[in-house]
Structure formats: C-alpha cells, structure tokens
Structure 1
Amino acid sequence: MPETTFPSTELTSQYTAQVAHDLERIAKEQERIGAEIAALQEQLLGLQHDHTILVNMQKALGASETRAQTAPSPEDVAVPAPRRKAPAKPAAAKRSRVKKAGTEQSSNAPKKTAAKAAVSKTAKPTLVELIRSHLAKQAEPRSAAEIATTLGQAHPDRGVKATVVRTTLEGLVAKSQAQRTKQGSSVFYTAADTSPAQPEAPSGNEVQPARADR
C-alpha cells in the first residue's frame, strides 16, 4: 500500500498548540488539587488526634463520676437508731395549749397596734406639712420656685418639683391656710394670718347703764 502522508498544515499546528495548552492546564490543576488533598489529610489527622484525646478524657471523667455516685457515704452506711414513740398527751393538755396560743395572740394585738402607731408618728411629714412649716418660718413672701428650691435642698430624697409645690400652695390658699399676693407678673405666698382678732376698746362716749336707786 502506498504510505499515506499527512502534510503539515495550519490546522494541525493549531491542534498541537491546543493539546499542549490543555496538558499544561491539567497538570497545574492536578498539582493544586494534590496540595489541597495533602492539607485536608493533615487537618484530618489533627482532628483524629484531638478526637482520641477528648474520648479518653471523657472516659476518665465518666469513670470518676460513676465511682463518686456508687461510693456509699458514711451517713448511708450508719444504721439509724430506732426511734422511741412519744407518749400520747391527754386532750386536756392540747386544749390548754390552744387557750394559751389564743391568749398570746390577744395580748400581742395591742403591742402591734402600738408599734404601728409609733411607726406612723415617725413617718416622714407630707409635702403640705413641709410647705406650711416653711411658710410659717418666713418673714417675707416667697414664690413657688423659691419654696421648691429650699425644700429640695433640705429634703433631696423627696424629689420636690416646682409644679407640685405650686399646686399644693394653691390648695392651701383655697383652704385659707396660706395667703397669695401678686407683684406684677409674679405670685408670692405667705402663711395664713392665724392671730385672733383683738376686741375693740370701748370709747369714752359710750353710755354706761344706769344703776337702780335703792
């Protein structure tokens, strides 16, 4: 047979270049995957090593806990002594105890009432009482803001507010327990005048009642 020859054409050269390029690409991909496999195997070995250590620790801890649970305590080993039955008490003693308890409760009632009264006496004064006491000590009229500031400094735990003080002052004025004066656009408050009215002295021209002649 005549020997078939394939002339070197441009198409053959393109195929040759493509094959060479694919071979190079596959070789690089194999190298990359092989490196990843090696890294994963190394990680797998490390995880297997850690897993073995943790399993051994778990077994050791479980064995010690089991021994602690199964070991009898001295209290469990000791045999308790038999209890003696208490003699039955008569019904009269029970009735006397009930009467005594009722007497103690009745005697403690006045004490509790007195204790509550003492607590109420030592309770903090109300805001109304504080404002009335403050006004009674002032020689000049005071505004609601001034009174709130003074009481707030004297009683920081009360949280005194000017609006509440003003409302309380107006309530005292309505009850004639305080007086309100206005100077321009400002309002001032003073304590109510509680002094008793003095009786008028009789004039010299007042006619005296005639005495009956005997």
Structure 2
Amino acid sequence: MPGTTTPATELTSQYAAQVSGDLERNVKERERITAEIASLQEQLTALQHDHAVLLSMRQALGITEAPAEPAAPSSESAAVPAPRRKAGTARSGKQKAQKSPATQGSPAAKKPAAKTAGATAAQPTLVELIRDHLAASKEPRSAAEISAALGAAHPGRQIITKVVRGTLEGLVAKSQAERTRQGKSVFYTAPAPESASASESGTQQSEDSGH
C-alpha cells in the first residue's frame, strides 16, 4: 500500500505543477492581449476623431465626395464572355456610319449654304452704300448721321462710325465725295456731276495705263 501511494502523489504533483504553469502563461497572455486591445482602441478613437475633423474640413472647403470605386467583378461574371456581334450587323453599322457624312454633301444639304453664299455676294459694299446715300441726300451729312442712317436701313450689318469716316475720306481723296467744314463739324456730300465724270475718267485712264 505505501508503494502505491507514492507514485500517485508524484503524479498529482506533476499535474499540479503543469496546471500552475499553464495558468500563469494564460494570465500573462491575457494581460498582453488586453494591453494590445487597449492600444488598438486608443488608435481607433484617434482615427475616428481625425476622420470627423477631415470631414468637417472637406465640407468647409466645398470639396465634393469622390465616387466610390466599383466593386471587383465576381468570378462568375468575369467568366461569362460578352456576346459577339454578327459580321453582317457590324458591316451594316459601318455602312450606316459611312452614309451619314455623305448625306451632308447631298444637294439638299448644300441648298442653305448656297443661298447664304448668294445672299452674301448680293449685298452691296460699304463704299456703294455710302455713295448711294450721298447721292440720295440733298443736304450735307456727317459721318455719324450717315452711320446711323445706314445702320437703320441695314440692321443686319455692323456699321461703325469710325469705319464710315475713313471710307468717306477715301472717297474724298478719289474725288468721289466732297467734304465741307462748318465750325468743328465735317460734312460730306456727293460730288458735282462734272467732278464725278472727271474722277471716273481719271480712274479709267489709270486702269488703261496700268494695262
């Protein structure tokens, strides 16, 4: 009997020592993990605080939120290939795309452009407008009066007084208009019939000599 008790006592002591060691390691591991959790909790709290501050700063700066990135396609959707178009359908689409520019060059498409070009070509020049206005005017006219009259008669054209004055001075230099001064104002009239005929003959002679 005493021999049987001694091995049992030794075995109990071994188990007790092992359990004590395991319990001590468990306590230490629990303390370590608890400390890590506390540290991570502090980091999480700091990150949440920084996140709130950054959100308020972005709102104050008026920065719009960037769109979220699309989720990665699943393996099932990636495995399904896109349906292929038939060759006939692709060719018909190309033919339609090639025909569409050609329709722009059709006679029906060119009619408005032709009308616009004809209307632009039919418009008289500024020199002709000023000549006709001076010929129809019985009294001397200033450059401002001529500009106002031409602008009212041709609302679609941009009549600038400075340009009209320069054109009038050019006509005076060619003896195709006459200039009179009344105080500080300058007025223009159509040339006398003799002056006009002499100017036209002089212009014709200069053109003949040039040839």
Q: Identify whether the pair has TM-score above 0.5, normalized to the shorter chain.
A: no
Normalised-by-shorter TM-score class = 0.3 to 0.5
Tell me the TM-score normalised to structure 1 length.
Answer: 0.42
Tell me the TM-score normalised to structure 2 length.
Answer: 0.43
